[in-house]
Amino acid sequence: MADQRRAERLDQPREPRGVRLPRVDQETFGRWSEGIARGMGTANFIVYMTLVIGAWFAWNTLAPPSWRFDPYTFTFLTLLLSIQASYAAPLILLAQNRQSDRDRIALEEDRRRATMQKAETEYLAREIAALRIAVGEVATRDFVRSELARLAEELDEAAQRRQRRERRQRRQPGREPRRHGGEPLDEPQDELDGDYARDRRPEG
């Protein structure tokens, strides 16, 4: 009774029953079947098999009756060809299945690589767009040249105003130019020479 309860328990593995068949290495057998299928699918196999069958016919037809091991109707040859066909078909199917598995794995790998390349292409496209936007905000060579030219013009105008102011101060002997650190004090004035002189001229 205790043994029966122990056998009915589900938390213990069940002992295998029946006949144990020998295990076959699927990879080794698959490579062997592919080799046979490749050999049978060549022109050499067809030529060699034709020569063997022709020699078989010739020997069992032209040889003396006591030497013939498979007389007419060639029963033994028919049996051999039937065995060959019965084994060739499964071997060819097995080779085709292995080739289909390889094609499926290759297709999945190609799909994975295509997805990765698409993601990388989209990333590079976004980076290029960001670079274009950044380059659009960066100062170009023409812009820098125009700014330098404008700055040079402003410096020339400032130098001309300073020269006019110094000439006016020389024409007024009673007024000493204010100096700061040994140099005349440069203060920007927007008045022109004629307007400034007319304002400073005494009224008669």
User: pLDDT digit string (tens) for 10-22?
Assistant: 776 676 666 676 7
Q: Give the integer Cα–Cα distance in Å for 168 and 199.
A: 13
Q: List, in sequence order, every residue forming a beta bridge with 141; answer none if it has no partner.
A: none
- Which of 23 and 194 is assigned the larger pLDDT? 23
DSSP 11-29: SSPPPP-SPPPPP--HHHH
pLDDT band at 168 (very low <50, low <70, confident <90, very high): confident
pTM of the entire predicted model: 0.46
Paired residues of 180 in beta bridges = 183
In which element (H, E) is residue 83 found? helix 75-137
Q: What is the Cα–Cα distance from 167 to 194, expressed in whole angstroms?
A: 13
Residue 19 neighbours by CB under 8 Å, 6+ apart: none
| Spatial separation of the C-alpha atoms in residues 68 and 56, rounded to whole Å | 10
Give the relative orientation of helices 43-62 and 26-40 as an angle to the nearest 10 degrees.
70
HSE-CB of 111 using CA atoms within 13 angstroms: 6
pLDDT in tens, 74-122: 899 999 999 998 988 888 888 888 888 889 999 999 999 999 999 999 9
pLDDT value at 179 more than 70? no
Of 70, 45, 44, 48, nearest to 58 by C-alpha is: 70
Q: Give tens-digit pLDDT for 32-83.
A: 888 888 888 888 999 999 999 999 999 988 888 888 888 888 899 999 999 9
Between CA 23 and CA 15 the distance in angstroms is 18
What's the pLDDT band for 173 if we cut at 50, 70, 90?
A: low
